[in-house]
Amino acid sequence: MRAVPITVTALAAALLLTACGGGDDSGSGGDESKPASSPGAAGSACAAGDLGQEVGPVDAAPAAGDTGNVTVTLTNKGKECTLTGFPKVELRAGDASATAAQDEAAAPQPLTLPAQGTASFTITYVRGAGSGEKSLAVKTVEYGLPKASSTADFPWSYGDVALKSEGVADATVSAFHQAGD
C-alpha cells in the first residue's frame, strides 16, 4: 500500500515543477520600455514659471532651539522637464538674508516630471531665539531651481530661524524627490 502514496506524491511534484517552467526563456520583450522617471530619462530643465507650488505639510518648531520642517510641493504646469540636485534656498527678513545649506545626507537623483507631475523638497530649520545676531526674523523664502535663472518665493510664518553665522541659517534643504502617489 505504501507504493501508491509515494507514486502519487512523485507525480504531483513532477506536475508542479512542469507548471513552473512553462515560460519562454528567450529573453525577448522583457525590457523594451522604460518609465519616464527613470534616471536615464532626459528632458529640459524645469523653469520656476512652469511650476505651481504648495507649502505644507509643515511641522513648525514650537520653541527656540527646536527643529521644524517645511515641505514645498511643486506641480509641473508645462511640458515634461527635469529637476536635478537641490533648490537654492534663501531665507529673507527685509534687507537681511541667510542661505540654507544642502542636506549632506541627501543623494540627489535626476527627477523627470511629466505634465502635472509633482516633486517636493523639505526645509529643515532650527527655531531662533527671536532677537539678536544669532536669529533671523524670516518673512519670505526665495528658492531657485537648478539650471534656471528665475526664482519663486512664499511667505514664512513659522517663527525666527537660528543662524550659524552671518548669512548662514541653521537650516538645510533636501534634494528634490517624487511627491504624491
Q: Does residue 134 lie in a domain region? A: yes
Q: For the chain, how many structural domains are there in total? A: 1
> Can you give the CATH number for the domain in which 95 is found?
2.60.40.10
Looking at the whole model, is its pTM more than 0.85? no
- Report yes or no on 38 lying in a domain: no
User: Does a structural domain hold residue 166?
Assistant: yes
Does any domain span residue 105?
Answer: yes
At residue 4 the predicted structure's pLDDT band, cuts being 50, 70 and 90, is very low
| 26: in domain | no
Range of the domain at 73: 48-178
Question: pLDDT of 99-143, one tens digit each?
Answer: 999 999 988 999 999 999 999 999 999 999 987 789 999 999 999
The answer to whether residue 13 sits within a structural domain is: no
pLDDT tens sequence across 27-80? 434 333 333 333 334 568 898 889 999 999 999 999 999 999 999 999 999 999
Q: What is the pLDDT of residue 131?
A: 74
Can you give the pLDDT at residue 105? 92
SS (H, E, C) the chain: CCHHHHHHHHHHHHHHHHHHCCCCCCCCCCCCCCCCCCCCCCCCECCHHHEEEEEEEEECCCCCCCEEEEEEEEEECCCCEEECCCCEEEEEECCEEEEEEECCCCCCCCEEECCCCEEEEEEEEEECCCCCCCEECCCEEEEECCCCCCEEEEECCCCCEEEEECCEEEEEECCCEECCC
Per the domain annotation, does 21 fall within a domain?
A: no
Query: Which pLDDT score is estimated for 43?
Result: 67
Higher local confidence (pLDDT), 10 or 161:
161
Any domain includes 152: yes
d(CA 173, CA 105): 10
